[in-house]
Amino acid sequence: MSISDAPSAVAPPPFGRTAVAMVTPFRADGTPDLDGARRLAAHLVAEGCDGIVLSGTTGEAPTTTDAEKEALVRAVVGAVGDRARITAGVGTGDTRHGTELARAAERAGAHGLLVLPPPYSRPGQEAAAHHLRTVADATGLPVMLYDIPGRTGTALAADTLLRLAEHPRVQGVKDCAYDLMKTAKVLAATGLAYYAGCDEQTLPLRAIGAAGCVSTVANAAPREVRAVLDAYDAGDPAEATRRYQRLVPLIEAMMAGEHPGAVTAKALLNVLGLPAGPVRAPLLAAGPQVTSELTAALKAAQR
């Protein structure tokens, strides 16, 4: 599918509409599987994803090297960059490192950047905004801010988001803040394209004006995730709700248990015979019981 096929009243969203937070496939020995990444990206686009986000949490960004991240972007852009928007995660606790990652992603052909407040150091609002602006200034690429205080320790305040929206390259937000009032306020006051970064919020946020989602569940169920947005955008909220509710058990199985999304997504992709491979430590693979439960949830969602 081409970017222009995505329903929109004005223009296509800058990072796609049904974007997938793609896993980073590894070989059995733990090295990157770039051919597998190309094949997986092509599969996800063929199944309905018009955006791919690389090197996020689901892509195991904390345990991949800078060179591996750049090679991954080149591989995926080469495979599907004419059919989907490719956004590269450049999250880091070091602003200088963030600008280096951003420039490398631009060189590799990325269409956009996913940038989060520095984790662990927990800077104040002005310092977090300075970091985000500095990375945005490093390239000519559009930026999707990543508001995920559960991982970074820093929630972006509504006023901070409003100020950042004035930057010409800040064009979107991946929203994992679980703060509906903040989201509604920023949506009402800016032209930022909001993306539900937590799968259970895809339909609720679309209903108040979000552009789409960045979905971990779409690794295993891309058609089903897209179908929720398709139904809503076709003017059938009842059908969208029915499809959303059918997905909820799979979302819960993949995202609400002990294992993070990178683990559960790879478990299902391996069951499906798609490129994924192992996870890198400190993550541990899902065991047989968890994998069986995930597989059952996926089959139920696809009925």
Residue 116 burial (CB count, 10 A)? 29
Q: Which amino acid is at 112?
A: G
Catalytic residue among 146, 194, 195, 244: 146
Whole-number Cα distances in Å, 226 to 48, 82, 110, 162, 284: 6, 19, 23, 29, 29
Q: Is the separation of the CB atoms in 219 and 269 below 8 Å?
A: yes
Catalytic residue among 174, 182, 244, 266: 174
Tell me if residue 174 is catalytic: yes
DSSP 31-71: SB-HHHHHHHHHHHHHTT--EEEESSTTTTGGGS-HHHHHH
Q: Is the separation of the CB atoms in 176 and 197 below 8 Å?
A: yes
Q: Which residue has the tokens 């108040």?
A: 208
Tell me if residue 146 is catalytic: yes
182's tokens: 């903040």
**Which residues in 45-69 are b (16+ Cβ under 10 Å) and which e?**
bebbbbbbbbbbbbbbbeebeeebb
Can you state the angle between helices 125-137 and 95-108, rounded to 10 degrees?
30
Q: Which residues are catalytic?
A: 146, 174
